[in-house]
Amino acid sequence: MFQAYVSCGWGISNIGFVMICFGICNGIAAIFIGNLIKITGRSPVICFALSLHVALIVTLLVWQPAYSNKLVYFAIAALWGICDAVWLVQINSLSGILFPGKEEASYSNFRLWESTGSVITYVYSPYLCTDVKLYLLLGLLLIGASGYTAVEYKQYKKKHAEKDQRVKGKFELVHNNINSAEIAE
């Protein structure tokens, strides 16, 4: 999608340079995301990526590309690469967390749906204007973030229910021991 902006405003011959910037930033960000998650947790990083991605889409909707804005092309591509790294790393790690012992099937399923989304995008791409594609992307991003939030909430509730059960079990053991001691007397 970004090629439409680069080719229109700066020239087709520069698409590769902007995509190189995207790829480098994507790779570097993917290396550091895991360490950042250990410090801050998943939720703040996901919220940051969601906010940044929404801001980038809105920027692309209102921005008029021009030949003089060369740095803007690279900045948007770099920030988009950072967002992409967060999504790929975190969705893959979440798949591993949600399906322990079934990671291979989980990752295969993730790749299947990722590829399916790419195919669908390539099919409709020549028929839709860039702004329509951006609105579609924004809608799907918000739906995906809502689904991610629901999964995180469900995992949070499950984790705390298990923790409460373990604590309750310990108190029941103590209570049973006290009752047994009282009976013995």
How sure is the predictor about 2, in pLDDT bands with cuts at 50, 70 and 90?
Answer: low
pLDDT > 70 in the chain, percent: 88
Distance in angstroms between the alpha carbons of the first and the last residue of the chain = 80
Task: Identify the CA nearest to 10 among candidates 94, 47, 19.
Answer: 19
Residue 84, pLDDT above cutoff 90: yes
Q: Is the separation of the CB atoms in 49 and 83 below 8 Å?
A: yes
pLDDT tens sequence across 91-122 = 888 888 888 899 899 889 989 999 999 999 99
Contacts of residue 88, defined as CB under 8 A and 6 or more positions apart, other chains included, come to 30
pLDDT at 177: 53
pLDDT at 169: 58
Residue 55 has which token pair?
A: 């801001």
Q: Is the separation of the CB atoms in 145 and 50 below 8 Å?
A: yes
In whole angstroms, give the CA distance from residue 6 to residue 70: 9
Contacts of residue 63, defined as CB under 8 A and 6 or more positions apart, other chains included, come to 5, 72
pLDDT tens sequence across 27-61 = 999 999 989 999 999 999 999 999 999 999 999 99
How sure is the predictor about 6, in pLDDT bands with cuts at 50, 70 and 90?
Answer: confident
Whole-model pTM?
Answer: 0.82
Count CB-CB contacts under 10 A for residue 73: 20
pLDDT tens sequence across 120-170 = 999 998 999 999 999 999 999 999 999 999 998 998 888 888 776 766 655
Count CB-CB contacts under 10 A for residue 57: 17
